[in-house]
Amino acid sequence: MTEQSKHSHLGIIIQGSLSAGLEMRLDASQSVEDLRVGRFVVVEGANTRFFSMVTDVTLSSSNPNILFNPPGTDPFLMAVLSGTSTFGTVKLQPMLMLEKQALAAFSLGSAAALSEEENEGRGLRPVKTIPSHFSQVFEASAEDFALVFGKEDNTPGNTYFSIGRPLNMEVPVCVNLNRFIERSNGIFGKSGTGKSFLNRIFLSGIISKDLASVLVFDMHNEYGWQAMSESKSAPRVKGLKQLFGHQVVVFSLDAESSKARGIPDARELYIGYNQIEIEDLDLLKNELALSEATLENAYIAREKLGQDWIATLLDMSGEEIEEFTQVHKGHPVALKTLQRRLNTIVQKTPYLRPRVNHNYIEEILQQIQAGKHIVLEFGRQNNLLSYMLATNIITRRIHAEYVRQSERYICDPERVNPPRKLVIVIEEAHKFLSPQVARQTIFGIIAREMRKYFVTLLIVDQRPSGIDPEILSQIGTRVTALLNDDKDIDAVFTGVSGSQTLRTVLSQMDPKQQALVLGYAVPMPVVVRTRAFDSEFYKAVAPDGEAHDWRRLARGSREERQILEERAQNAAGELFGD
């Protein structure tokens, strides 16, 4: 045993099973107080290395009589008994296994770049067996972390991105962002656990590696220019626009508010009454107390009044509504109720206009296809009704265009380029994906389609129990900060095997800057201390970010503006052309 292995030796396996996990007796030189649930350890079997997670810690004794006659406060007796008659036992859950002969076959660098299929073919596999009695257990090394989670570097094609560090070491834990964007993902945690900071870390990785475009529906104005922080030394943190400059385009439903907060070139966005579909009203039926009879009368009004049915209905008097229902059937009370509810929407959403001449959604699509990233700020219009309406309308139209473009590509992949991958970020996701509305909303459709049409979701929520279980089962990667509610914890582990042991890990995490990451983008669950969103992070993901001065951004060079306009026009021609 080398000097380093002596230092990292934790104990030996004394019993266990494949279904219930392993039990380790803690070495006498180790303190039970130094172990943390969620810690990553390695079990060295005779022929196989097992990568495992600490799921529980227990105090044990070789003779129960000792517990009936404790040594009191005598330090000498405690020292004599410790590690021999009294000792710690640790529950381990093996997550991955690697045969030692396969370990010698591939180097650290090549192992980190393997796909899941290649990993299974050449080494890393799901656990199918357990180590023998008295197998040695060691603290995972930096090489072990790189072998399992990959290693971030600047080589072309490397899509690994560091999201934090393990609980007991100063080595990076990486997520494969290429796999992350292939499926819809979720960031969960109770209020105050830093979900928005976690989200910004992942979005910064996607943008810096240019793997997809992101569309952020920014309900609380935290992603555009800057956001508030609880740190007294740095009360404000940079938003995506400050970090990545012209790569990020900010649209605002409240341009006055965006300009007041310092965004140099925020673009206004308005939505016309004629862009509202009855499906959007159906999403808001709980917020507006809309009955099924009222929605049925909405279909009658749309059919008879045409595309501008909302503007026409809002202008109708009570007598005109009575006459309308006599001619076209329908119920006058339900139609008047619908009129009042539509007036409520108009009053709470100042970005609505009877008619909008400019196609803002087409402009967003042009920017996305030109490789840009979009943040849609709500400013002072951040009430839930306003957020749900705008988010549903815009996403539905963008998805329809992506479906059209994807089908063109599928029919003729040699001559038609695929649309640029898109990650849509929504907050308060349970409002869009509850069991009652998930089948009607565009977000439920996107979550079930996965990557078929090059669009995925990144949902941020503090109440995952409110999300339809079918949708949760489609979530590829789950990044979960502390949750206290048992229903929410159960929801996070929907469709996850071995979730009982992970529940203990989740419940013992710190309320700040810790998260459990599991799913498609990581080979095994891991608890991390998430990266700090600070100046060091800024320099790592956007080396030129310090130079993104708003005056330079607002002014820009004539050559740069011309290049960007040409890219947008070319993308629009490809996207909307015949």
549-578 burial, b for 16+ CB within 10 Å, e for fewer? Answer: eeeebeeeeeeeeeebeebbeebbeebeee
How many whole angstroms separate alpha carbon 295 and alpha carbon 346?
17
Contacts of 150 (CB under 8 A, 6+ apart): 112, 113, 160, 174, 176
Same domain, 474 and 539: yes
Cβ neighbors of 345 (< 8 A, separation 6 or more) are: 284, 288, 352, 385, 389
Cβ pair 321, 358 in contact under 8 A: no
Whether 9 and 55 share a structural domain: yes
Asked whether residue 68 falls in the same domain as residue 206, the answer is no
Rounded CA-CA distance 285/341 in Å is 10
Cα dihedral 26/32/38/44 (nearest 10):
-20
Q: Which stretch of DSSP H or E encloses residue 217?
A: strand 213-218
In a domain, 165, yes or no: no
Please choose, from the candidates 465, 449, 447, the residue with its C-alpha nearest in 3D space to the C-alpha of residue 457: 447
Of 323, 351, 379, which closes a domain? 351
Distance CA 259, CA 41 (A): 50
Whether the CA torsion 116, 122, 123, 126 is positive or negative: it is: positive
Same domain, 404 and 366: yes
Identify the CA nearest to 163 among candidates 547, 533, 408, 530: 530
Residue 577 in any domain: the answer is no
Three-state secondary structure call for residue 77: helix
Looking at residue 328, its pLDDT comes to 84
Is residue 506, in this structure, part of any structural domain at all?
yes
Q: Is residue 168 part of a domain?
A: no
Would you call 218 exposed, middle or buried from its count of C-beta atoms within 10 A (0-12, 13-18, 19+)? Answer: buried
Residues 406 and 471 in one domain: yes
570 domain-assigned = no
CA-based nearest residue to 456, from 402, 526, 518, 397: 402
Task: Tell whether 470 and 530 lie within a shared domain.
Answer: yes
User: Is 160 within a domain?
Assistant: no
Is 573 part of any domain?
Answer: no
Does one domain contain both 296 and 430? no
User: Do 372 and 389 share a domain, yes or no?
Assistant: yes
How many Cβ atoms are within 10 Å of 75's Cβ, its own excluded?
9
Same domain, 454 and 555: yes
pTM of the predicted model as reported, rounded to 2 decimal places: 0.84
Range of 384's domain? 176-270+358-564
Alpha carbon distance 434, 187 (integer Å): 16
What 3-state DSSP class applies to 249?
A: strand
pLDDT at residue number 544: 65
Phi, psi of 27 (to 5 degrees): -65, 145
- Does residue 472 fall inside a structural domain? yes
Q: Are residues 207 and 332 in the same domain?
A: no
Amino acid 28 reads A
Q: Say yes or no: 41 and 93 in one domain.
A: yes
Is 125 in the same domain as 216?
no
pLDDT score recorded for residue 234: 66
Helix (H) or strand (E) holding 519: strand 514-519
Give start and end residues of each alpha helix (H) in 306-383. 309-315, 318-328, 332-348, 360-369
Residues of the chain with pLDDT under 70: 1-7, 67-69, 72-81, 83-84, 102-122, 230-234, 450, 544-578
What would the two tokens of residue 354 be? Answer: 């009877």
C-beta atoms surrounding 384 within 10 Å: 13
- Please give the tally of structural domains in the chain: 3
- H helix or E strand, kind and range, residue 459: strand 455-461
- Cβ atoms of 429 and 461 closer than 8 Å: yes
* Closest to 122 (Cα-Cα) out of 157, 98, 96: 98
pLDDT at residue number 547: 41
